A and B are shown apart, each in its own frame.
Chain A
Amino acid sequence: MKTCGARPGGPSTDGIDLSKQTVIQGQILRDGSSDSVPNGTPVSNGHVRLLDATGEFTAEVPTNTEGQFRFFASPGTWTLVVQAPGARVEKRLVAAQGNATDLVITI
Chain B
Amino acid sequence: MRKDNKQIHLPELSLVLLIGASSSGKSSFARKHFKPTEVVSSDYCRGLVSDDENSLTASDDAFELARYITAKRFKNGLLTVIDATNVQENSRKDWAKLAREYHVLPTAIVFNLPEKVCVERSTLRPDRNLGSHVIPQQISQLKRGLRRLKIEGFRHVIELNSQEEVDAVEEIIRDPLYNNKKQEKGPFDIIGDIHGCYDELVMLLQQLGYKHENENWLHPEGRKPVFLGDLVDRGPKTPEVLKLVMGMVKTGSALCVPGNHDIKLLKWFNGKNVQAKHGLQQSIDQLEKETPAFREEARKFIDSLVSHYVLDDGNLIVAHAGIKEEMQGRGSGAVREFCLFGETTGEIDEFGLPVRYNWASEYRGKAMVVYGHTPVPEAQWLNRTIDIDTGCVFGGKLTALRYPEKELVSVPSLATYCEPSRPIIPTTGIITSLQQQYDDILDISDFMGKHIVPTQYAHNVTIREENAIAALEVMSRFAVNPKWLIYLPPTMSPVETSKLEDYLEHPKEAFDYYRGVGVEKVICEEKHMGSRTIIIVGKNEAAIQEAFGITNEGIGVIYTRTGRSWFNDKETEQAFLQRINTALEQSGFYEKFQTDWVCLDTELMPWSAKAQSLLEKQYSAVGAAATHALQSTLQNLQQAVLHNPEVTFLLDKYQTKQQQVEQYIKSYQQYCWPVNSLDDFKLAPFHILATAGKSWTDKDHEWHMEQIENICRADPSILKATTYKVVHLQDMESIQEATDWWVSMTGAGGEGMVVKPSQYIHVNGAKLAQPAVKVRGREYLRIIYGPEYTSPENLIRLKSRGLSSKRNLALREFSLGIEGLQRFVNQEPLQKIHECVFGVLALESEPVDPRL
Partners in one complex: no
Chain A positions within 8 Å of B, measured between CB atoms, are none
